Amino acid sequence: MKADTHPDYHFITVKMTDGTEFRTRSTWGKEGDVMTLEIDPTSHPAWTGGQRQVDQGGRVAQFNKRFGGLSLKKK
């Protein structure tokens, strides 16, 4: 087996968006680094049940929305 094939696995501190922190082991950064999260389960709408963005449709739906009132029929 080759030596030094695995990355360094060490303790880091993870800081959540609400300011809480916890220690975990990771290959990210160096020993003792702090990972500050911008999105986490306490703030992301998928976990908090917040407003969801509804799919606005594809290209055809966008075209119909923009030009749906036009008609090619002669009056």
The answer on pLDDT for 69 being more than 70 is yes
Supply the pTM of this predicted model.
0.55
41: left (phi > 0), else alpha (psi -120 to 50), else beta?
alpha
> Which pLDDT score, from 0 to 100, does residue 75 have?
58
Instruction: Write down the mean pLDDT value for the chain.
Output: 83
58 half-sphere exposure, CB direction, 13 A CA radius: 1
- For 12-29, what is the mean pLDDT? 94
